[in-house]
Amino acid sequence: MANLFWRSRGLALATRRGLCTSAVEEQKGKGGKAVNLFSAINQALHIALESDPRTYVFGEDVSFGGVFRCTTGLADRFGKHRVFNTPLCEQGLVGFGIGLAAMGNRAIAEIQFADYIFPAFDQIVNEAAKFRYRSGNQFNCGGLTIRAPYGAVGHGGHYHSQSPEAFFCHVPGLKVVIPRSPREAKGLLLACIRDPNPTVFFEPKWLYRLAVEEVPEHDYMLPLSQAEVIRQGTDITLVAWGAQLAIMEQACVEAEKDGISCELIDLKTLIPWDKETVEASVRKTGKLLVSHEAPITGGFGAEICASIAESCFLRTCLFWQLEAPVARVCGLDTPFPLVYEPFYMPTKNKILDSIKATVSY
Amino acid sequence: MGVWFFARSSNIARQLKGQVGQGLLGIWRFGFSFGEIRPTHYSDLGDSGTLFSIRRFESAKAQKRIDDEEDRVLDFPGGRVTCNSQMAFIPESPEKQTLQCYRVLDDNGQTIVGSKFKEINEEVAIKMYSDMVTLQTMDTIFYEAQRQGRISFYLTSMGEEVISIASAAALSMDDVIFPQYREPGVLLWRGFTLQEFTNQLFGNKYDYGKGRQMPIHYGSNKLNYVTISSTIATQIPHAVGAAYAMKMDKKNACAVTYFGDGSTSEGDFHAALNFAAVMEAPVIFICRNNGWAISTPTSEQFRSDGIAVRGQAYGMRSIRVDGNDALAIYSAVHAAREMAINEHRPILIETLTYRVGHHSTSDDSTKYRPVDEIDHWRKARDPVTRFRKWVEKNGWWNDEDESALRNDVRKKVLNAIQVAEKVEKPPLAELFTDVYDHPPSNLCEQERLLRETVKRHPQDYPVDVPV
């Protein structure tokens, strides 16, 4: 039945992440071995290196396979000149990647944790993002892809848990992509690597081992800037990305027991985002809830809510309009806390409460 | 980075504590906070030079001299090191003198007897000198054009003309340049025309950057000169990545990046040098140590003996060169290029010079440095004059050539300005292109809305930008 399930592995967090979801059952292109998310990433990197000799994979500790095992076997297969460790310096490795990409290569840079991407912020924001624009398209570093594990993991505390996607969503010239599952991760990562624009690809580290699904072994890409309705519904539109979709899915199942039909959208690409798909859904349901792990204030959920409030509140709109205030269920405006993580998180019941409140508004 | 396996680490720490107990922690504390815990045998401080010697361990172990091979040499993950029982800190600066500076031409344009340098033939020397004069002329006229309000900003190379031009002359066109903003001389050498410079300054529709950046942010794909950004030092790691790519592509070329003394305080500088050494990237780092980062003198920028000394700490060859000596720069860059490409290694070149001009047209440097100092460098130590003397001594140049060239260049620059300012600005559509390879829907929508607004309020918008 299910081609994706959250493997328990005896970890406490597995129960919190729930089991199989109806959303993923509907995925197209079934087939292939069941693999977890880090293995799917690993497959994508193998294919990227195999299919284009001008592709390089590098970062802190990637040679031996990486702290999350995403780069396992790559150095042996493709050589230490194409897959290599860099000194421990994020600004250096992103800057290096920009130069490598500017010479017509595909540079795949790994930041070990998204929490550590900030030393590279200037290189990403002022350099990578503007490289094409400021040169009038004489130069570009479109071959650059920055991979970084992000998000909660149950015991990561301040510096192994953050979701910094909103910072990068404020930067024209970048694409920001977050996959929800192994199959999505493989197809979206290959699309990012081959996209002619610099991309930041956040990988939900909670799902590296927990999310397992059948992943086609062949080379395939999934479209960027294209959201997906992963669960059809009529009463409320839910929007999320990455690991949060599994929580949203649980909330949908619970809500259904109360007779609430939720439509769940995986945004996948945060910028440039697929506003049309979200709008179409909200015009159908009349209600919107956005959820993310990052702190609520200034989170990307705010952008989605504001945009939808603008475009779906028009009197001239021929379709359904927003019938209730947009809702956000997100992380708290605190640093990511260790023992308080269960309190901080936008959990299933927080979402469920918000769904009920919004639907009965 | 980080402490991912912290749970495991703390277990290990606990175990270690159990096994080693106070012994290990005691030694740790000993070494780092001897001020608090001073064992009695430290009372013997009169024995200066052995304050932190092996003797402090005497109470824990029977006295033992480091005399067998086993104790003299230790293997660490980074290699073998020899040990010495005499504690000796490395001094903060060289004991005898500061790092010497490579120089070929004296102030009178005479080659110093016995100096080693790469010969330059007449044709190259004249082109070098002509470009220096052109750069001086451009700087004078463009600076004035900014003062007249015809362009919004300018930044001169005054006092540093020979660094960019002599280094460019020693490079090949295939070498990729990652410039800062005071190296238009490289572009000149490579054939960027006066009209191309001027189009950029005016941000007209022929500016390759499509009027998006401030004046002086030149770039040329054709000339392997990567477009300038205003951010300091960010281009340095790019050069390393590009150099690595060139090595992998087995190109007979290297990457070259320029920056000032202020840049060497930025993290990107340190990151880039370290990466270059580790990656064995064929890249030449050329620092223009001109004494001033806007108003900050080097004495407030760093305490090292300049820049070149840092190369060794990163594991790369480096040299300090008289930045006002075109022959020395040419020779050093030529040699650096050979080593970089043939031996796959980075080279650091520190050029010592002086920023004779203000930082930019937004700056008045007399507010923070003496006018006498500026005048001294402008008159007595002008690098272009020094090179001219050498060229003249070779019989390749005379006063007639000089006045003919200066008149000619002056006319050409003025003409380029007249042409450039009549050319219209890039069309509004270019505001939205090149953010991505193709404009996404949000940009298309924003363009549509903006055009409607412009139609309603045309008076709010510049008339020289075609809508």
Smallest Cβ–Cβ distance between A134 and the set B212, B236, B240 belongs to B212
Q: Which helix (H) or strand (E) holds B260?
A: strand B255-260
Q: Decide if A14 is inside a domain.
A: no
Kindly tell me if the per-residue pLDDT of B25 is higher than 80: no
> Could you count the other beta carbons within 10 Å of the beta carbon of residue A317?
13
Shortest distance between the Cα of A199 and any Cα of chain B, in A, equals 11
Tell me, what amino acid is at A87? P
Q: What is the pLDDT of residues B385-432, one digit of tens each?
A: 999 999 999 999 999 999 999 999 999 999 999 999 999 999 999 999
Cβ neighbours of A273 in B, within 8 Å: 442
Do the beta carbons of residue B284 and residue B315 sit within 8 Å? Answer: no
Mutation target vs B (from A54, A103, A140; most B CBs, 10 A cutoff): A103
Q: Decide if A208 is inside a domain.
A: yes
Tell me, what amino acid is at B289? N
CB contact under 8 A, B245 and A100: yes
Q: Which ranges of B148-193 would DSSP assign to H, the alpha helix?
A: 161-170, 184-190
Q: How confident is the model at residue B308 (pLDDT cuts 50, 70, 90)?
A: very high
Interfacial B residues in 20-79 facing A (CB < 8 Å): none
Write down which residue in A215, A241, A260 finishes a domain: A215
**A238 and A201 in one domain?**
no
Cβ neighbours of B4 in A, within 8 Å: 67, 112-113, 160
Q: Decide if A344 is inside a domain.
A: yes
**A206 and A335 in one domain?**
no
**A237 and A206 in one domain?**
no
Kindly tell me if the per-residue pLDDT of A333 is higher than 50: yes
Kindly tell me if the per-residue pLDDT of B65 is higher than 80: no
**A181 and A300 in one domain?**
no
CB contact under 8 A, A96 and B279: yes
Averaged confidence pLDDT in chain A:
92
Interfacial B residues in 219-248 facing A (CB < 8 Å): 219-221, 226-227, 229, 231, 234, 236-246, 248
Write down which residue in A190, A215, A240 finishes a domain: A215
Q: Taking residues A206-234, what's their average pLDDT?
A: 97
pLDDT at B67: 55
* Strand ranges across the sheet with A175-177: A83-85, A55-59, A106-110, A144-150, A199-204, A175-177, A269-271
pLDDT at A16: 42
**Distance between CA atoms of B411 and B405, rounded to whole angstroms?**
10
Q: What is the pLDDT of residues B326-361, one digit of tens each?
A: 999 999 999 999 999 999 999 999 999 999 999 999
Look up the CATH number of the domain holding residue A107. Answer: 3.40.50.970
Q: How confident is the model at residue B95 (pLDDT cuts 50, 70, 90)?
A: confident
**Which of these, B428, B203, B268, B181, lies nearest to A127 by C-alpha position?**
B268
Look up the CATH number of the domain holding residue A248. Answer: 3.40.50.920
pLDDT at B143: 97
**Which of these, A277, A271, A358, A262, lies nearest to A312 by C-alpha position?**
A277
pLDDT at B355: 97
Catalytic residue ranges of B:
144, 230, 359-360
Contacts of B51 (CB under 8 A, 6+ apart): B45, B87
> Cα torsion for A147, A148, A153, A157, to the nearest 10°?
180
**A279 and A165 in one domain?**
no
**A187 and A106 in one domain?**
yes
pTM (2 decimals)?
0.89
pLDDT at B70: 63
Q: What is the pLDDT of residues B427-465, one digit of tens each?
A: 999 999 999 999 999 999 999 999 999 999 999 999 999
CB contact under 8 A, A126 and B231: yes
Q: Is A2 helix (H, G, I), strand (E, B) or coil?
A: coil
**A205 and A304 in one domain?**
no
Q: Taking residues B200-229, what's their average pLDDT?
A: 98
**A188 and A102 in one domain?**
yes
Q: How confident is the model at residue A31 (pLDDT cuts 50, 70, 90)?
A: confident
Kindly tell me if the per-residue pLDDT of A235 is higher than 90: yes
Percent of chain B with pLDDT over 70: 85
Do the beta carbons of residue B318 and residue B350 sit within 8 Å? Answer: yes
**Location of structure tokens 């070498």:** B175
**A107 and A189 in one domain?**
yes
**Distance between CA atoms of A142 and A174, rounded to whole angstroms?**
9
Domain assignment of residue A47, given as a range: 22-215
Kindly tell me if the per-residue pLDDT of B46 is higher than 70: no
Kindly tell me if the per-residue pLDDT of A123 is higher than 70: yes
Half-sphere exposure of B142 (CA within 13 A, CB side): 32
Do the beta carbons of residue B229 and residue B222 sit within 8 Å? Answer: no
Q: What is the pLDDT of residues B226-246, one digit of tens each?
A: 999 999 999 999 999 999 999
Averaged confidence pLDDT in chain B:
88
CB contact under 8 A, B227 and A134: yes
Write down which residue in A160, A181, A215 finishes a domain: A215
pLDDT at B24: 34
pLDDT at B6: 38
**Distance between CA atoms of B316 and B61, rounded to whole angstroms?**
42
Q: Decide if A91 is inside a domain.
A: yes
Per-residue b or e along A322-345, where b marks 16 or more CB atoms closer than 10 Å to that residue's CB: bebebbbbbbeeeebeeeebeebb
**A285 and A165 in one domain?**
no
Structural domain tally of chain A?
Answer: 2
Q: How confident is the model at residue A2 (pLDDT cuts 50, 70, 90)?
A: very low
CB contact under 8 A, B245 and A99: yes
Q: What is the pLDDT of residues A167-198, one digit of tens each?
A: 999 999 999 999 999 999 999 999 999 999 99
Q: Decide if A1 is inside a domain.
A: no
Tell me, what amino acid is at B448? R
Helices vs. strands in chain B: H and E counts, helices first: 15, 9
For B434, name the nearest residue in chain A, comparing CA atoms only.
A133
Contacts of A257 (CB under 8 A, 6+ apart): none
- ipTM attached to this prediction: 0.91
Q: Decide if A3 is inside a domain.
A: no
How, if at all, do strands B283-289 and B347-352 pair? Answer: parallel
Kindly tell me if the per-residue pLDDT of B51 is higher than 50: no
**A239 and A211 in one domain?**
no
Kindly tell me if the per-residue pLDDT of B14 is higher than 70: no
CB contact under 8 A, B237 and A116: no
Whether B209 and chain A come into contact, CB under 8 Å, resolves to yes
Lowest mean pLDDT among A119-133, B21-35, B287-301: B21-35
**A353 and A283 in one domain?**
yes
Q: Decide if A221 is inside a domain.
A: no
Q: Decide if A4 is inside a domain.
A: no
Q: How confident is the model at residue A49 (pLDDT cuts 50, 70, 90)?
A: very high
Percent of chain B with pLDDT over 90: 80
